[in-house]
Structures are given as structure tokens and as C-alpha cells.
Structure 1
Amino acid sequence: MDNPDFIIIGAGSSGCVMAERLSASGRHKVLVLEAGGDDRRFFVQMPLGYGKTFFDPKVNWMYRAEPDEGLAGNVDHWPRGRVLGGSSSINAMVWVRGHRADFDDWRDAGNPGWGADEMCSAFRDVECAIVGDDSLRGRKGPLNLFVPGKTTHHLTRKWFESAQALGLPLNPDFNGESQEGVGLFEFTIHGGRRLSAARAFLRPAMKRPNLRVITGAQVTGLTFDGGRVTGVTYTRKGRKQTVSAGREVILSGGSVNSPQLLQLAGIGPARHLKDLGINVRIDNPNVGRNLEDHIGINYTYRANCPTINQQLGPWWGKLSAGLHYLLLRDGPLSVSLNQAGGFIRTSPDRVRPNMQLYFQAFSTVIPRPGERPILSPDPWPGFSIGWSNCRPKSRGEIMIRSADPSQAPRITPNALSHEEDVAEMLATGKIVRAMAAARPLADCIEAELLPGPDIASDEALIDDIRHRSGTVYHPVATCRMGPDPTTSVVDARLRVHGLEGLRVVDCSIFPNIVTGNTNAAAIATGWRASEIVLQDNA
């Protein structure tokens, strides 16, 4: 495409939405550059296929974090989507907006237009939900949402009852008026297939003559005219190419790749860039810093009744599930494993939930190095109750290692480095054990396998948390939004401080992490940002 008005770097959750909205009127020419390839792959489209894509370099950047003291020195695996749809093509598909107060926090941090009212409007515009109140939920959006029905395992209902016995309400809609309680999650699944941002937004838009998508195009740098970004350089099939934007370049690489590209272009911490021989254009120490992420762990139990392990474990179970899926787009392969979960407060003095719960009628205690054994569960019946922190206080950073764009950046999460994060994880572990001890779920348990009944003291529980916890793949805030360039990277219009012609639109701009999975907020951010870009280019 010659002389596009907008160049979008990255066809992830936000980038796909931006491509659809900016090309919708037909007035603007839009070019999307995606480093990965086509999303029309079986294990991308099959909902439970994320067990395969978790370690597949054909669709996954396969990042590895630095050894983390807060995680007992472990090296965490950081999957990020390298495919049309980005991480929405390889994630667990849970659709959680976040708490309304999360977005009011964004607004109150000096970002007008990003409060709960504006973001809820964006959520309603993109959603086609089947649960909740009509006044709060969208019914006509392009993103069809799915709630498990007959595929829900019977143990899930027993967990609900045990949670209710502890005083937690049953919540039919985590995206409605209240987030607290336990219930079934909503998923970006439609017709038994994953409904990624590519399938919901980008592919319908690709029929338009004013939108072009180039895959296998890894952007390596930005071009400048003084203080204005004029275009990008990228490599494809070994050839370096340059393309100019008539109006703007929009960086939607995600929380890892967006700060990486800014730093490669000389926008970031000056001392670090100079040490790598990179010419500094803008000294902004916030680029790549302020990293927030949710950290999670599971407690696992051996059951005295069949679980999904018995459906997917033996070869005949895999064959039956596979045929059922291929013929009917139904069964255990047609939905995520975390079919249910919840949001809780670890103490009554908290005004909103601070921890997220997950329930799986499935277990994978047996280690399988280099594999996420979703399709190879334990040979015995088992299930897990997991949790992650919603608003961690620990902060990390993402920094390039060299001026070579092909070298993965250094990811330093600093997980569980703040004592309050550790205290929350410990408190929730005790709540999870109380759930497992409550009837009727207690009647279904043969034994606690992980961490095991011998792990009882606070010290031992914390040690177990550090050894077995890890990312739940929700990194944000590495190009955070705010009015002050000394504390942020982009302003409330998502323009990079100190430059013209460049915006960042993805999870990296979140001023603070949201309460729950981040894909929904990434998509709504793309929708809201599109409104802003179109206003500014009217």
C-alpha cells in the first residue's frame, strides 16, 4: 500500500480493533505490520489448543524472564502472541472487564476520557454478551461472548456451594454491577472456535480496499523528521523496507514489544541507551519501567470422582474428545479449562476485591519440562483451585539488551518483591484451603497433593508460594499513560510525550493494572483510542 494514512505496528488485541475502526469509514488508508503469521491454524482456533501454542515459536515470542528472587530464583516463561490476533490468539480466552474503580483510577491519575463511564461505553460497544443487565452489557457488538453450559463439570457447582458456605455470593456476571463472588467466566469463544481480536475485528475489515495487512513484517525502527515520527522500517523475508505514514504511526506491540521498539528508536532511559550505543532522541526513564503483572499459583487435590483428567488422559478419551469437537464443535476441547472463578477480598476492610480465583476440574501435578500439559493431564482424578493478585505493588522493568532488534529484551518482573503482595497470596491460600475443607467439595477430596498437608506454617506456605508461583500473563504499564512526562510515556490522547505523529495503543499504556484478565481492557482500549485518533484527525 502506497502512502498509508496510518501505520499500525502489531495486530494484537488493540491493534486489530484500531485497524477495523480506522478503516471503517473508507476515508483513511491503513497499513498493519505484524511480525507473526496467519492465525488460521487448528490449535489457534480450537479453544483448548492454547496448551499447544503455549510453547510454539511459530505463534509465540517465547520470552523468558530473568531469574527472579521473589520466585525463589526461578526463570518464568512469558508467552506473547506472535500471530494475527496477538496474545488474544493464544490466551485462555477469559473475558473480564476489570473493576469500575480501576478505570476511575486511570482518570484520577490525570487522564480525562479514561474513567469508568467512558470505558464501560467502549466495553458495551464491542460486546455481544448473553448474560447480565441490558443497561450494563453490550448485546450487538462484534465480539460474541460464551458462557459454559453443559460443558461445565459437576465439581464446579460443588465448589460454588462450598464458597457460598464461606459467605461468598454466587455472581452471575463478573462484568456487571458487582465483581465480587464466584461464578462462571465469560469467554471469547463463538461457534466452538476461539474468537480472537483477529477473527472478530481484523478479518472482517480485511475485505476493505483501504486496509492492508502484511504478516512476517518485523518492525525494526522508526523514521523521523525532526520531532515528528514519519514512518517505520521493517524487515520481511530478509529485506529491509521503509514505509511512511501520511498522518500517524500507532505502536500496538504490547507491553514487551512497545517499550522495546521505543528504546531501539532512542526513546527511553538515556543512560541505558547510551551504554548500548543508541542515539538518544528523548530521555524518558519511564519507557520499559513501572511493569505490573498478576502472579498466580494453584492448590491441587486428588478427587474421589472422575474429573476432566479421565476425559482427556487416555488415548481413547483424546480420540473421543477430538471427534466430538470436529463433528459438533462441543465438548472439553471447545472451552477453556478455567471455566469458573471469582473475585474476593482478603479482609473486610477492603473496598473492592483484591484477589482473583480460578477453578479447574483438571490437574497436572506430574511435571513435563517444556510442555504445558493441558492435553495430557494426570492419570488420576484431580482438580485445582488457583488464585492471583489483582493489584500488586511489586514493580519490574523491560529493557533492551542491545541495539539489535532481533534480540529479546531483558524482562525483570521483580515478582512478589513487595511484602503486601506476599501477605495477600498467603491469606488467599488459607481461604482456598477453607473452601476445600467446606462441604460439599470436601466430600469429593481424597487428598491435597500440592502443596500438601505437611506445608502448614506461614513460613512454609510462603516458601511454597515463592517456588511455585508465576506470571498469569498480564503485563502492563511499561509505557504508562499520564500528564507528566517525568512519570509517564504517553498523554491522555496516547501521544508519546515530546513527539508528534506517534501514539502507543495497547496494555503498556495502562496507568495501573486492572482487576482481572487484561484482554478485555486491551480491546476496549483499542476501541476508545480509535475514537480519540479519529477525533484528532477529523
Structure 2
Amino acid sequence: MSEVFDHIVVGAGSAGCVLAARLSEDPGTRVLLLEAGPPDRSPWIHLPIGYGKTMWSPELNWCYQTDPDPNMNGRRIYWPRGKTLGGSSSINGLIYIRGQQEDYDHWAALGNTGWSYDEVLPYFVKSENNQRGAIALHGDAGPLRVSDIGARHELIEAFIAGAGEIGVPATSDFNGARQEGAGYYQLTTHRGLRVSAAKAYLKPARGRPNLRVETGAFASGVLLEGRRAVGVRWRQDGILREARCRGEVLLAAGALQSPQLLQLSGIGPPALLAEHGIPVVHDAPGVGENLQDHLQIRLIYECTKPITTNDQLRTWWGQTRLGLQWLLARSGPLAVGINQGGCFLRALRGPDGLPVATTPDIQFHVATLSADMAGGKVHPFSGFTMSVCQLRPESRGRVRIRSADPFEPPSMQPNYLATELDRRTAVAGMQAARAIAAAPSMRPYVRREVKPGPDAADEAALLAFCRDNGATIFHPSGTCRMGVDAAAVLDPRLRVRGIAALRVIDCSAMPTLVSGNTHAPAVMMAEKAVDMIREDARRRP
């Protein structure tokens, strides 16, 4: 392109849409946004229950597979990632969770100035337009719509009561002063439709003459002059293109592709770059390391009553009722998606029987349907699912290019369950799920435990089930972590160390994974980054 931009944003996901929209608010700032996928026109994106379709769509989803994980019996794990405007916020499970206050205070304690909970909270509030209004810790004027699940469900009510019977209090707000508790999730929906980052941020900005959005634009590398980023290369319609910028290149391609782009551009571990014939521009051994993800363990139950979504989907009349419920009232399962309720609890116990962690170490996602895997075909029986995940895994994996070909997916090794703490916590989470299922309020709804089933009677059998069946809950993070130590890829202002005019702004920048779903934190990080970009620009001579 002959025109020069002030900023080039790579990736129109949760963070990239925020960056493009906010930076282009200044009419004197020219912004180019590149997205490898197509526009977000598919109706399955906008209908919350469409999650089951987009989960497998190669048009809207990168459909990645990890390397064989030795801790998971050599299995490859399916890793869906969004490939459309909105990125993974266009195909995710819609749950609005910020994480724990202690997550961000920990970031700050590691030397990441400006990232304490008190300092990031204003950006969560700024981004949010909560159905409940501007109540304590929440906002009602931001672009991102956050809604309650309107109708109560008999099964979720029983789960909340059952959690209370094992000592987990009910809560109405997982994003309030205390995360611990059981209740209904809030969702990024509005009037029965998904509110992705593209819909919340990008759509209102598309008419601005200073914002250019290119879809089908597969980024292949950062243009560098010496140790300064000056533009981006990409492939579009079979043609290799490039554009230059006078300000900064902002990578928001996610925890898998942002490190891949840095490595392809000569920024990364020297031995890896040399192996693939890429000249080393900057020795950055941390690029692609520190990969963290939440491992999902799904416990499946047969329900004693025909009150599950499985039952509604089984007959044409049930499907018709679901459709009419959405069309006439914008309610019901089509408007909610998969998971309605959940809880955060402290599952791992010490020898004294007391919780090891001071804050929740396990998250539950409770779905009123069941399938062999997320987004799969529902079972022919009345079923529901309790998924558990460890919130703060110790295990670390890595992302590395396989070749100098930018269009070859990178090697992804999650290295799940690599530490004793992670193994013990995963088993404790399953035991907590069983305890809730056996609680007086839940027991009348449980005909049988389908998976892992009664044969998994001890901790060894439960761990074996985790290895055989565990899957991602879609939160890869940490591969371009910010910090102040020599191995950190970014400084606390999200600037790539050793390279001028280049930042990474997405979940790869997280030094440690937050305790919950990652969409809301990614939006917050981008909102904060915009202020940093503007402040740093004012300081430059």
C-alpha cells in the first residue's frame, strides 16, 4: 500500500478490535487493522447457540491441533481459535469473567508497574455496559454489553443449592468484591445475540475515514529497519502485500500467532531462528515460552428428569419450541449458549483437611446439555455437564515455528499436568464435582455418572481420566509475557524489549494466567494499552 499509517494492528480479536476502534477515535490518527479471517457475517456467530457450529468451521476457526502431549498419553488436543472479525470473541462461550483481584496484584508484584487490580479496574469498568447498571465495580457506558441470564433453570438452581451444601456460598456476581461462590454467569450478549469485540467496538467505528479494515489478510511478518518496526507484510487474495507506519506496529494476533510472527521476523530464541534460516534481529529467548492454559475436565451425568437441552433438541417439536422462544422473546438456550451456571471454589485440601489456596483454585462451567466434547453432538439421553478447570496451573508449555513458512501453523506444546500441584488440583476438582452431584439438592437429578463413571473410584483412576479426556477450555496465554527480568519479552508498557515501535497486546502478554475466562481481561488490556500508546506518543520529541 502506498499510504502510510500511524498504527497497524495485526489481528481483529478481543484486543485488536478495541485498539483499532479506540485509536481511530482521534481523526488525525490513521489506523490499519488486518484480520486473516473473513467478515463476521455468519449467523452462527451472532446466535449464542451457534458456538456448536463455529467450533468446527475452518472458515471461522483456525482449528489447531497441539503437538502430542506426553502428559496426556501422547494425545493431540484440539485448540479452536477465532478466525474472523472479533477473533475468538466471535466463537467463544460468552462468559464474562474478569479474574481475581489477586491475579493483577500478583502481576504488579512481579514488577509490572501499573497492572495492580486497583489500576486495571477502571478499564474493566470503562469497557463494560452492564445490564445491571453502574453499580459497585461495574460500568454502564462502555461498548461491551454484559447481560444476565434471564430465566432460572431448575438444574442450575439445584447445582447452586448443592454447592451451598458442601460449603460454597451462593453469589450473584463473580466479578464483585469476592469471586468465590456459585451462581449464574453473566454473558456478553444483548437481546439474545452475541456481542463480540467486533460488534461492540469495531462496528461503530467502521465508518471512520481514518480506519481501514482488511479481512482475508494473513500477516506473515513485521517489517523492520534495524531494530525498529516500520510496517507489516501479509498475504491477501494470493498476493503478498505490505504497509508501513510512522507510529507503532501493534500485534494482537493472540497467544499462538503473536509469538509466531515475532519469531518469523527474527525476534526470538537464536537457536530456533537459526534452525529455520531466519537471521536473528533480536535475541529474545522468552518468545513463545511460558505458555499456559486452563485444562478442562468434563464430568457428564444423566439426569432423572427430561429438563435438559438434550431433551429439547431430540424432537422436532422441542427444536421448534426453542426457535420460537428465541424469535418471540429472545430467550431460552438459543440466547444463552452452552454454560449457564458455575462456581469458583477452593478444592485442593492439605493434610489437615483445610483448603491449600486462599482464593478459588477451581472453576466450574455447568451446562444443561451433554456431549462428548465442547461443541459436539448432544447425547441421546437427558444429560448435563460439569466441567472443572484449575485456575492457576503451574505447568508451562511453548509455541515455536516449524519452518520459515509463515503459513505453516506453529508447533504448540501445552505440557498439561506437568507438575504435581496441577495433577492434585485436577483430581481435587473432579472430587468436588462429585461432592456437589451427591449433595442432597442435586442427588434427585442424578440418575448416573456417565463419565468418568463408577469405575474411576480412586485418585489414580481420576488422574488417568484427566490424561485420557482432558481438553482445553480455550485460554492459551503468556507466550510474550511482560516483566522486568531478562527473559521477559515485553516491558510493563507492552513494548517488545530491544525493538522500537512494536508492542504485543493480547493474552500472550499475561505473565501468569488469570483465574477465569480471558475475553474480558483481553479487552481490559487493550483499553489500558491505548492510554499507554497515547501517553508515550506525547512524551516523544
- The alignment's TM-score, normalised by the length of structure 1, stands at 0.96
Partner residue, 2:323: 322
- Distance in 2, matches of 1:187 and 1:117, equals 23
3-state SS, counterpart of residue 4 of structure 1: strand
Counterparts of 1:481-496 in structure 2, within 5 Å, are 481-484=482-485, 486-496=486-496
Question: Which residue in the other structure is 1:210 paired with?
Answer: 210
SS at match of 2:162: helix
Rounded to whole Å, the distance in 2 between the matches of 1:224 and 1:25 is 26
Instruction: Tell me if 1:362 matches 2:363.
Output: no
Match of 2:164 in 1: 164
Q: Does 2:464 correspond to 1:463?
A: yes
2:352 matched to which residue of 1? none
Equivalent position of 1:65 in the other structure:
66
Q: Deviation digits for residues 214-246 of structure 1, max 9, x if unmatched?
A: 001111122122111110111110111111001
Distance 2:170 2:508 in 1: 33
2:133–2:140 Cα contact (<8 Å) kept:
no
The equivalences for 1:508-523 within 5 A come to: 508-523=508-523
**How many percent identity over aligned positions?**
43
Name the structure 1 match of 2:187. 187
Residues 327-342 of structure 1 mapped to structure 2, 5 A cutoff: 327-342=328-343
Matched with 1:387 is 388
Measured after TM superposition, the shift of residue 132 of structure 1 is 8.4
Deviation string 1:268-291 (CA, Å, 9 cap, x unpaired) is 010011011111111111100000
Distance in 2 separating the partners of 1:298 and 1:11: 30
Q: Does the 8 Å contact 2:71/2:417 carry over to 1?
A: yes
Matched, 1:351 2:358: yes
Give the CA deviation at 1:131: 4.1
Output aligned runs, 1:306-455, within 5 Å. 306=306, 307-346=308-347, 347=349, 348-365=355-372, 372-373=375-376, 376-455=377-456
How much has 1:330 moved relative to structure 2?
Answer: 2.4
Q: Distance in 2 between matches of 1:182 and 1:203?
A: 35
Question: Match of 2:131, SS?
Answer: coil
Answer with 315-324 or 213-222: which moved more: 315-324
State the aligned residue count: 530
Contact 1:133 1:176 in 2 (8 A): no
Three-state SS of the structure 1 residue aligned to 2:412 is: strand
The one-character-per-residue Cα deviations of 1:127-185 (angstroms, maximum 9, x if unpaired) are 112348723111211111011121x4211001111111111100110001000010111
Superimposed CA distance per residue, residues 74-120 of structure 1 (whole angstroms, 9 cap, x where no aligned partner): 11001111100000000001110000110111111111111111211
Paired AA for residue 460 in structure 1? A
Structure 2: runs of 5+ lacking an equivalent:
350-354
CA deviation string 1:368-399 (max 9, x = no partner): xxx932xx421211111110010000000000
Deviation (angstroms), 1:189: 0.5
Tell whether the 8 Å contact from 1:11 to 1:86 is kept in structure 2 after alignment: yes
Q: Which residue of 2 aligns with 1:138?
A: 139
Cα distance in 1 for residues equivalent to 2:241 and 2:134:
50
Residue 97 of structure 2: aligned partner = 96
Cα distance in 1 for residues equivalent to 2:245 and 2:227: 15
Cα 1:503/1:243, change in 2 over 3 Å: same
1:266-345 aligned at under 5 Å gives the runs: 266-306=266-306, 307-345=308-346
Partner of 2:18: 17
The one-letter code sitting in structure 1 at the alignment partner of 2:331 is: D
Where do residues 105-254 of structure 1 align in structure 2 (5 Å cutoff)? 105-131=106-132, 134-150=135-151, 152-254=152-254
Gaps of 5+ in 1: none
The SS at the match of 1:234 is strand
Structure-2 separation of matches of 1:522 and 1:16: 11
Q: Give me the whole-angstrom Cα distance separating, in 2, the residues matched to 1:134 and 1:148.
A: 18
Pick closer, same or farther for the CA change 1:133–1:441 going to 2, 3 Å.
farther
Structure 1 counterpart of 2:248, one-letter code: E
Give the Cα separation in 1 of the matches to 2:362 and 2:269.
33
User: In structure 2, how many angstroms separate the alpha carbons of the residues matched to 1:451 and 1:261?
Assistant: 40
SS at match of 1:339: strand
Question: Aligned letter for 1:350?
Answer: A
